Chains A and B, each alone.
Chain A
């Protein structure tokens, strides 16, 4: 019985971690759906968003290391601390400007190219953004605090202690991440299914020529999609940055999104959610039951093995579109 209750606590914690994975995976799915491109830079975009947010909030001077090195000045900060909401809004504006730049400087020149070419371009973009973020804001580890509640939730602990005689330890940040992810997903689904822009977005993903012929501006759709992906990256950056600090390793969470995408399917928003939950729960439960038998640390590889199995038996993922071709 104790074992079972403990397992369910692990399960709940897994679900919460899964939500965090889903947040990252969502950004990938969005761009993939809208342009047929796997955006390798999604993780770095989350890092860049988080860096920018911290920088703006704490009034750091952008490029200060560079400026100081060249001009021998000692610039540090503008000396303000902005309210979180304002800082988040400003960061969103930066991410939209970034989307506009990406369209102008990269995508516009690659209209009608093979997806693999666009994919390569996003790899370049990832490395560029990584370095650019460092130069702009510095490479030191930063703490991000936008006022999201953190720490163990007393309410959950008390309630579960009442019910099971055993209090669950659940981080309040995880609870908030779940709520925010749910709202974000609902908004994105409504947007892509019911609005004209959403329909145009799906059309562009499918066929550039056909989209042009019905009067869709590729440029507008691409800027829109990358802006949305930038916004999702910002949300993911906020959640992960709050949880584990803003540092380079933040961009590596993108790697955890890969197995999530293979499970859920690259083209499905619900798939990203369910995939994230399965990976989150799966790796926690596996570590809990099987981990001790094999010496632990299974969380590092469990997701990838699961993804491999999916690649073998169901390559399109749980919810992905099966590729149908008439011959």
Chain B
């Protein structure tokens, strides 16, 4: 590897396309997660740095989604430490994690189907609204200013993701690809410090995948959002990410730049299978 891509530098590194990556934003140390007797995650450690796109890949059942659920607080690991922004995080409820500035999307899409696209995205900003509820109900003073600011922020995101034409449509009526995009919009609306994407391209056709890849890159580029994503499509992952963690049967079998990972024998074995004789 070139010196430019030394991934272990203490104060960040510069990516192949010349972006400066900062210090450690999230640090996972020795995470172990069990469901009864099954160890879904076995003693895994890795970090996510400020401004990078970090991918977690692995075959089905490798424990990728469990890992993401640990980061977002939906699962609490039995062992290990989660450090965020230099502070150790105690066991937290998912909504508390969200309030720390960690937003996420779901593998099977979790949107508010009965609400319009606009309302869905507005829920992403709930934690940014501070005005008392009486003034909100009668639309007065601080509440009015706040609502206008929040609407403006949401409109920017709607523009950015090119979903202007569906903003009033109830989400339940949208096709799959657009739902995925609305979910991304809602996560972005929170202006998260860390954005978690659980298979953002699952079930999409080639064109939709290309669109989504472009949006992910643009989000990272324009807002400087740190992104951790899980994805099956190897081509997409290698193009998008700065660094990749590879999991297999709950263990970490590789960690590094896409090139490093691609040439890792263990990773090749996990994906292509290996003769046991």
Contacts and interface: CB of A to CB of B under 8 A. Distances in A.
B173 interface: yes
B72 A213 contact: yes
A6 interface: no
B126 A213 contact: no
Contacts of A324: 170, 172-173
A207 B183 CA distance: 13
Interface in B155-204: 170, 172-173, 175-176, 186-187, 190
A209 B95 contact: no
Nearest to A207: B110
Given A195-B136, A324-B172, A207 B99 contact: no
Contact of A212 (B98, B133, B190): B98
Given A207-B112, A214-B98, A217-B93, A199 B72 contact: no
Contacts of A196: 126, 129, 131, 133, 136
A217 B176 CA distance: 28
Given A207-B111, A210-B106, A214-B190, A200 B95 contact: no
A291 B11 CA distance: 86
Contact of B110 (A194, A210, A325): A210
Contact of A214 (B74, B103, B131, B137): B103
Interface string A193-213: 011110110110111011111
Interface string B69-113: 000101000000000000000000111101100011010001111
A92 to B, nearest CB: 17
B122 interface: yes
B114 interface: yes
Contacts of A197: 133
B123 interface: yes
B127 A206 contact: no
A76 to B, nearest CB: 41
Nearest to B124: A214
A206 B95 contact: no
Interface residues of B, number: 38
Contacts of B106: 209-210, 213
A190 B173 contact: no
B115 A202 contact: yes
Nearest to A321: B114
Nearest to B111: A210
B275 interface: no
Contacts of A216: 95, 123, 126
A218 B190 CA distance: 18
Interface string B128-146: 0101010011110000000
A207 B186 CA distance: 14
Contacts of A4: none
A207 B113 contact: yes
Interface in A191-245: 191, 194-197, 199-200, 202-203, 205-207, 209-218
Nearest to B122: A199
Most buried by A among B96, B112, B113, B119: B112
A199 B95 contact: no
B123 A214 contact: yes
B78 to A, nearest CB: 21
Contacts of B124: 214
A206 B114 contact: yes
Nearest to A206: B112
Contacts of B137: 187, 190-191, 194-195
A313 B190 CA distance: 43
A211 B137 CA distance: 21
Contact of A200 (B96, B99, B123, B175): B123
Given A213-B103, A214-B190, A326 B175 contact: yes
B119 A199 contact: yes
A213 B127 contact: no
B123 A199 contact: yes
Interface string A131-149: 0000000000000000000
B133 A214 contact: no
A196 B94 CA distance: 19
Contact of A217 (B74, B95, B103, B115): B95
Given A199-B126, A200-B126, A324-B172, A210 B98 contact: no
Contacts of A209: 74, 106, 110
Contacts of B110: 207, 209-210, 213
B173 A215 contact: no
Contacts of A325: 172
Contacts of B187: 213
A194 B139 contact: yes
A266 to B, nearest CB: 12
10 contacts: A194-B139, A195-B133, A196-B133, A211-B123, A213-B106, A213-B110, A214-B123, A214-B126, A214-B190, A215-B96
Interface of B: 72, 74, 93-96, 98-99, 103-104, 106, 110-115, 119, 122-124, 126-127, 129, 131, 133, 136-139, 170, 172-173, 175-176, 186-187, 190
Given A196-B129, A214-B103, 15 more contacts: A194-B137, A195-B137, A199-B119, A199-B122, A202-B115, A205-B114, A206-B112, A213-B98, A214-B123, A214-B190, A215-B98, A215-B99, A217-B95, A218-B95, A326-B172
* Nearest 6 Cβ contacts at the A-B interface: A215-B98, A210-B110, A206-B112, A212-B94, A195-B136, A196-B129
